[in-house]
Structure 1
Amino acid sequence: MNSTKGRNHGPIICQRRRKEETRDKSRRCRDRSRRSVEKRTSETLDEAAKKRRGWRATAESSALLQLKRGFTFTDELNTWIPETNYCIWEGVTCDDQWRHVISLNLSDKHINGTIHPSLFNLTSLRTLVFSNNVFFGKSISDYGWERLANLSILVLHNAGFVGKIPVGLSRLTKLTSLDLSISSFEFHNLSFTVKPTYLRNMSNLRDLYLDNVDLSAYGNEWCSALVNFTLPLEVLSMSNCSLFGVFPKKILQLRNLRYLDISNNPMLYGSLPDFSLDNNFGSLILSDTNFFGNLPNTIGNLMFLRNLILSSCQFSGRLPSSIGNLSKLVILDLSNNSKLHGPIPSSLFQLSELSILFLALSILVKPWITGNYNKARCTGGYVKDVVGDRPHECKARAGGVGRGLEAQGTGTRCKVLVDAQDAEEGHRVLGN
């Protein structure tokens, strides 16, 4: 017989329910307590973040004002006023969240004086531009560049700086564009006096402008450095830099390269490679160098080319007919290449975009210049004849032997025969 039969279980059930209610109440209390702690912690963090932002704002505003005090001409920085929003000051750009200064563009402000070291307290800078100012006689700071670790664009073009370019720039490993070029052709105010091995740290560099910067100390090593460090170059401008030695063909075959100017380096040698179809050249400027050899037939693969300037070189042979494939060509300068010979390909004058053509002292046979021009000028050649499909609609005015001719028509097809053997300066054709 079951001894528990008929026993009253009510008190036991009530006790269990009270225990469960107690546990639930305790759990709710713990949850409320945890949420309260989390809220206080969050508020504390927010306050700390606000304090950090406020401190940062004070630090960056102070750095900018110190920078301004180093300038002796600041009329164009009249918005730089203490206790105002520095993010809307002239030339200053901040990010939206933290109000860090990420861009400082002070180009064309007629600024002179000195650059205060406080510049290097703007550690969030991505873009720094001081181009076209008048820091005459001042050198670029040697120290502090390592603090601008986020800098990707540095433009000091034509700012008036002199002296040695600091090695500290090599610490700017995120640079994509570096412009230290100078407009003056006569003076080398800036110079590199260290080996260009620092380029190995600039693996992101796409645009490099060093025109009129003196590279003579290691002028024969720059070209190999540009190849060996496999930079993703799109623009390489090194005119009048005292480069010398052999210019590597590999640079001319970089797929991303769209602008190359190494002109006015008379001790620089090289020849043109075969060009592939997957190139992006828009401008190729090799004038006043010692480039030599034939123009390759594959030059017709430069389908995006607008400017081809090869004057005062040592090119030889005939002009390839494929040059007529350069449908976007605007300027062609082959002047002063006395070893070039043979006829000018007629396809050259069917290029609708071609507006400037220089062939002085290059083509040594009688070329026919054919084109549909409403106005054309051929200068420096000895004009022998002008004919047209309907000559009475084509007027010609001679300027004398060696002076050229101006022909105006009414849309008719005119041919101008120029005897380049009698020319002292060759000829130029300017289209509409």
Structure 2
Amino acid sequence: MKMKTSFFTIALLSLTISLSLPSLSLSQRCNKKDEKILFRIKKSFGNPDVLATWTRDTDCCSWYSVQCDEYTDRISALTIFSGNISGHITEAIGNLPYLETLILRKLTNLTGQIPSSITKLTSLKTLTISWTNLSGPIPSFLSQIKSLASLDLSYNSFTGAIPPELSTLPKLRTLRLDRNRLTGSIPESFGNFTGRVPAIYLSHNLLNGTLPQTLGQVNFTWLDLSRNRFFGDLSVFFGTNKTIKAANFSRNMFEFNFSNLNQFPESLSVLDLNHNRIYGSLPATLKELKLQTWNVSYNRLCGEIPAGGSLQKYDNTAYFHNRCLCGSPLPAC
């Protein structure tokens, strides 16, 4: 009987230890240096309720918006969406050396500027600071983060010119600077990206001037320049040797003879030119394209809409308010 009792006691003790081991392991996972930086970030954001799980009695790898690398247990991602956060981005953000993803989105009371210490994040691949009230110029020092593949600074209050140095980011795939208050023209350097030409979104700004001729030297895949104050000719973006898939040039002041554009890349599926000053007629070669989005309304076009292809699948709203366009889906010529 005594032997059975001892065996039961040992088994119970073993079970208790085994159950406690995961908790012990978990409590040791969080790197203390990273934890310290996260607390500084929380303080700079005003200790908001959305970060209520960030406490000393829990493992920081289990905190809301925090992700640790499974091999190093260092902070690899910080993604904070929507929350009553008031404050600024602390310089301490640069002391998370293993950070690959930083997303701060829909934090409308987040103010100030992007700290220069962010250049210390040499592993950063995704940087999204969107829907905030950050202001001031877009810092050129972002070009020092050579690991960046995605840079999204949309829906903020940034002002000033686009830093030409951004074209030196060798791994950049997406550049979003739309919905700010940027001024000036597109940098000449955007015609000479160090790496592959990224998808570029510059819409809803105060950008102006003619487009640099250097842009004709590169092949864009996705380009959105809508709702700015650009003018001039768009011919440099088209031709059978181009690979552009989607282009939105709407609501600018572009002015050129559309009749002179006879060659379009087969890849082109989105073309929006509405609200410009484009004149001439629609080239017959447009009907060869498989257009998923198409709009030339509010221009100065004339002549018959080429019959066939994708051009008749759109209703009259894609064509109306031109000087003298005619033919289906508009009234006959």
State the TM-score, normalized to the length of structure 1.
Answer: 0.63
Matched, 1:140 2:131: no
Structure 1 CA distance for aligned equivalents of residues 231 and 239 of structure 2: 24
1:119 and 1:143 map into 2 onto residues whose CA distance is: 10
Q: Does 1:160 align with 2:133?
A: yes
In the alignment, which residue of structure 2 is the partner of 1:344? Answer: 305
Aligned with residue 204 of structure 1, among 153, 162, 171: 171
Is the CA contact (8 Å cut-off) linking 1:253 and 1:279 kept in structure 2?
Answer: no
Map 1:53-72 onto structure 2 (within 5 A): 57-72=31-46
Corresponding residue of 2:201: 237
State the SS of the aligned residue for 1:132: strand
- Distance (whole Å) between structure 2 residues aligned to residue 162 and residue 264 of structure 1: 20
Alignment equivalent of 1:74, drawn from 31, 34, 48:
48
Equivalent in the alignment of 2:324? 364
Residue 282 of structure 1 aligns with which residue? 245
Divergent runs of 4+, >4 A: 276-280, 348-352, 354-357
Name the aligned partner's letter for residue 205 of structure 1: L
For the residues of structure 1 that align with 2:34 and 2:176, how far apart are their CA atoms?
Answer: 30
Greater Rg over alpha carbons, structure: 1
* CA contact 2:65–2:80 (8 Å) conserved in 1: yes
Change (3 A) 1:73 1:332: farther
**Structure 2: 5+ residue stretches without partners:** 1-27
Aligned residues with identical type, % of pairs: 25
What's 1:330 paired with?
Answer: 292
Distance of 2:320 and 2:311 partners within structure 1: 20
**Matched residue type, 2:255:** F
Number of aligned residue pairs: 304
Hey, what's the Cα distance between the residues in 1 that align with 2:202 and 2:65?
28
List aligned pairs for 1:394-413, cutoff 5 A: none
Alignment-mate amino acid for residue 345 of structure 1: P
In the TM superposition, what is the alpha-carbon distance from 1:97 to its structure 2 partner? Answer: 1.2
* 1:265 counterpart residue number: 228
Shift of 1:125: 0.9
SS of residue matched to 1:106: strand
Q: How does 1:94-173 map to 2 (within 5 A)?
A: 94-136=68-110, 138-173=111-146
1:325 to partner: Cα distance? 2.0
Equivalent residues of 1:142, 1:167 under 8 A apart? no
Could you tell me whether the CA contact under 8 Å between 2:200 and 2:224 is conserved in 1?
yes
Matched, 1:190 2:164: no
- For residues 325 and 127 of structure 2, the distance between their equivalents in structure 1, rounded to whole angstroms, comes to 49
Which structure 2 residues correspond to residues 286-325 of structure 1 after superposition, within 5 A?
A: 286-295=249-258, 296-299=261-264, 301-305=265-269, 307-325=270-288
User: Residue 309 of structure 1 contacts residue 333 of structure 1 at CA under 8 Å; is this kept in 2?
Assistant: yes
Change (3 A) 1:350 1:113: closer
Compared CA separation, residues 229 and 70, structure 1 to 2 (3 A):
same
* Cα RMSD after superposing both structures: 2.8
CA shift, 1:365, in A, is 4.5
Q: Which aligned pairs between 1:383-394 and structure 2 lie closer than 5 A? A: none
* Residues 205-248 of structure 1, C-alpha deviations (whole Å, 9 max, x = no match): 221111133433xx23x331211344522311112333333213
Distance 2:127 2:105 in 1: 10
1:365–1:281 distance in 2 versus 1, CA, 3 Å: closer
Where structure 1 has 5 or more consecutive residues not aligned to the other structure, the ranges are 1-53, 184-188, 370-416, 421-432
Query: What is the CA-CA distance between 1:336 and the residue it aligns to?
Result: 1.3
**Match in the other structure for 1:213:** 180
Amino acid aligned to 1:289: N
What is the rounded CA distance, in whole Å, between the counterparts of 1:244 and 1:356 in structure 2?
30
- The answer to whether 1:227 aligns with 2:200 is no
CA distance in 1 between partners of 2:30 and 2:47 (Å) = 27
CA distance in 1, matches of 2:303, 2:268: 26
Of the candidates 182, 196, 211, which is equivalent to residue 247 of structure 1?
211
Q: Return the alpha-carbon distance in structure 2 between the equivalents of residues 313 and 287 of structure 1.
A: 7
Counterpart for residue 22 of structure 2? none
